[in-house]
């Protein structure tokens, strides 16, 4: 078996020292940058659903749960955001676009819109990235037990970036008692 000389150990120590300093500088530079893990275009995804009866009216409701994230945190509108492009005649008046599709024989028969305005939820401070959950209820009294539906959802930020549409799986309508 061959043993390495003491000269080899000294040479390797000289090589390791600059490598250690270069690695330290790179890590420190990376730590000083703003942390923004998300794209500024919002992302919304269907998470789950369940059926319920609203109180006190007793309406049948589809309760949707969705997750979202946005890199620059410009989600939501203030009550005063009513001038173009957020005026009532604009599609951007609503920033949560929800479409309910009724399905028969694997074909879309009807589409109903249940759009909403999410209030401004931009966090204070320098890091504006957002991620969270949205819960929304849709009245389904006009649908029969056993009907098949599917929900499409999109989220719009104040810069008018529109997320890709996310879909629920096919849902069979149930009427809770």
Q: What is the pTM of this model?
A: 0.77
> For 29, phi and psi rounded to 5 degrees?
-65, -40
With the C-alpha atoms ordered 124, 128, 129, 134, is the resulting torsion angle positive or negative? positive
What is the residue-level pLDDT of the chain in tens, covering all 177 positions? 455 555 555 554 554 555 444 545 444 544 444 555 788 999 999 999 999 999 888 999 999 999 999 999 999 999 999 999 999 999 999 999 999 999 999 899 999 999 999 999 988 887 788 999 999 999 999 999 999 999 999 999 999 999 999 999 999 999 887
- In three-state secondary structure terms, 129 is coil
Strand 171-172 with 148-155, pairing:
antiparallel
Residue 124: per-residue pLDDT: 83
Tokens 């810069």 locate to 159
SS3 readout for 138-163: EECCCCCCCCEEEEEEEEECCCCCEC
Return d(Cα 127, Cα 157) in angstroms, integer.
17
Is the bond preceding 85 in cis, omega lying within 30 degrees of 0? yes
Return d(Cα 153, Cα 136) in angstroms, integer.
11
Return d(Cα 158, Cα 6) in angstroms, integer.
66
Residue 3: per-residue pLDDT: 52
Return d(Cα 96, Cα 79) in angstroms, integer.
15
How far is C-alpha 93 from the geometric centre of its chain's CA atoms? 19
């Amino acid at each position: 078996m061959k043993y390495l000389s003491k000269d080899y150990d000294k040479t390797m120590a000289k090589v390791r020292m600059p490598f250690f300093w270069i690695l330290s500088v790179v890590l420190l530079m990376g730590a000083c940058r703003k942390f923004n893990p998300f794209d500024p275009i919002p992302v919304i995804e269907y998470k789950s659903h369940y059926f319920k009866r609203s109180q006190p009216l007793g309406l049948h409701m589809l309760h949707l749960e969705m997750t979202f994230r946005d890199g620059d945190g410009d989600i939501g509108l203030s009550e005063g955001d009513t001038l173009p492009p957020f005026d009532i005649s604009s599609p951007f008046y609503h920033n949560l676009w929800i479409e309910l599709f009724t399905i028969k024989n694997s074909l879309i028969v009807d589409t109903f819109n249940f759009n909403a305005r999410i209030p401004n939820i931009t966090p204070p401070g320098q890091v504006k990235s957002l991620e969270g959950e949205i819960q929304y209820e849709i009245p389904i009294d006009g649908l029969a037990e056993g009907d098949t539906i599917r929900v499409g959802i999109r989220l719009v930020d104040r810069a008018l970036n529109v997320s890709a549409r996310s879909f629920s799986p096919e849902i069979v309508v149930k009427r809770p008692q």
